[in-house]
Amino acid sequence: MGIIDEMVIAEEKASEGTKRMNILVLGASGAGKSTLIKAISGCEVKTGVGEGVTQKIDVYNSSTWALRLIDTEGFEYKRIAQINTIRQIKKYIKDYIINNPSERDGIDAIWFCIEGTSRRIFGDNIEMMNKAAKGWKNIPVFVVITKSYSETDIPENIEAVKKAFYKIPGVNLKEIIPVVAESYTINNETIVNPTGIVELCETTLKYMNESKEISRENLDRMVLEQKRFTANATVAGSTATAVAIGAIPIPVITDSALLVPLETGLTKAIYKIYGVKVSSDLIQGVVGSAAITMIAKSIIKVIPVVGPAVNAAVAGVLVAALGEGVMASAEAIYKGKISADQFDVIYNFIAEKMKTNTIVKVAIEYITNNADKLKNKSSKEIFASITGSSRKLIEKK
């Protein structure tokens, strides 16, 4: 069956309106990705022989199939080129997917192209694929053995692919499909016609519902991770400011007029990052809450009074603990576990998170155990030691 016949058959089975599967097309440079995309999308795609020709991310909508094909630069065998391709893919995911969650437009599946005429080891490429798609847990993978001109080589190639994937667990491999994307002339008498296009597209689309569900879960998780990353950076900036505010006695610093606007601004910023709508009364109330203030004072009570530098470091610890508590409450509101109008519930929730915060625990132990050694250290040095120990403790868990 020729490619024209296949496309006619496909038109009868294709589109589900505007609902499309988003396919990330990966593979080694020269593996035939661009030729495959051209055959399926009907779009003009720059193709060539030898060195890969795709130098950036390009997106093609098929006019026949309910597929959106995301073309990437080919994986090279030079490490720097591999890193650049992986960065390129991650940037696309961040810029066009994570930053536009309202479009609900994630990556639904991967077509991993392997050249059927190549005798290169497949394992290295599969490892690169894993790195490129990191974050998209359990994403369905379809291996496309391109340039499958020799029917006698197909079983051997399929078995080699299976063995390569078997050595790298955790990949959700669905199907292995040999494809010839365009006619190939062997000699004056033998021409290999395109084949496998319909099987590849039909097989992929069979998994649409499953793929969309996996994609939705991945997208929700990645959007949340991005919010956490941004909120953590905001908390870090505020804690640095709190440390810089400075070396004044601990009983004063907790109620300092200088810290109140900082804590208020931090609280407001975190809720905004998570996109949850809270009232100004709640934001003001977080800073002045009796539950939260009581926890802050109970923390201070057990920390030895060593000097101004320690006081400043403790101010940073308290702001960090508050910020992380607010983050936890924002996430709970974002997930629908807490209502934004449950003020007392939110205050107690944040207070409890502050009470059990790792950085608070580390600060108490560090200052208590090193009180005599801290008199000649700056507030930044003390705070850096506390946060460093806190990170190590979290990593061990």
Contact yes or no for 46/14 (Cβ under 8 A): no
- How many other CB atoms sit within 10 Å of the CB of residue 154? 16
pLDDT of residue 298: 83
Question: Any alpha helices (H) in the chain, and if so which ranges?
Answer: 3-13, 33-41, 79-93, 123-132, 154-166, 197-206, 208-245, 250-253, 259-274, 280-288, 290-301, 308-334, 343-355, 358-369, 379-396
CB 68 within 8 A of CB 23: yes
Q: What is the DSSP string of 260-272?
A: HHHHHHHHHHHHH
Per-residue pLDDT of the chain (397 residues; tens, 9 = 90+): 443 344 334 444 444 445 889 998 988 777 788 889 988 887 766 544 333 334 467 888 888 899 989 887 766 656 666 677 777 777 776 666 656 655 446 789 999 988 887 655 556 667 777 777 776 788 899 999 988 878 888 888 888 888 888 877 778 899 999 988 877 666 666 676 778 899 999 999 999 999 988 888 888 887 888 899 999 999 999 988 888 875 555 444 444 566 788 899 999 999 999 999 999 999 999 988 888 888 888 887 777 666 777 778 888 888 999 999 999 999 999 999 999 999 999 999 999 999 898 888 888 888 888 777 777 788 888 888 888 888 877 766 6
Which tokens sit at 386? 């506390």
**Bridging pattern class, strands 109-115 and 172-178:** unpaired
| Closest by CA position to 204, among listed 32, 3, 36 | 36
DSSP string, 92-146: HHIIIIIT-GGG-----EEEEEEETT--S-SHHHHHHHHHHTTT-TT-EEEEEEE
For residues 59 and 62, what is the distance between their CA atoms, to the nearest angstrom? 10
Tell me the per-residue pLDDT of 6-23, one tens digit each, with 9 for 90 and over.
Answer: 433 444 444 444 588 999
Dump pLDDT digits (tens) for 33-68: 888 998 888 776 654 433 333 446 788 888 889 998
Structural domains in the chain, CATH included, are 3-206 (3.40.50.300), 225-396 (no CATH)
**Segment 301-350, tens digit of pLDDT:** 777 666 777 778 888 888 999 999 999 999 999 999 999 999 999 999 99
Provide the token pair at 343.
Answer: 């003020």
**pTM of the entire structure?**
0.70
Q: How many CB atoms lie within 10 A of CB 387?
A: 19
Tokens of 16: 């589900």
The residues that bridge with 196 in the sheet, in sequence order, are: none
Both tokens of 163, joined, read 């063995």
Distance CA 156, CA 163 (A): 11
In this structure, are residues 58 and 103 in contact, taking their beta carbons and an 8 Å threshold?
no
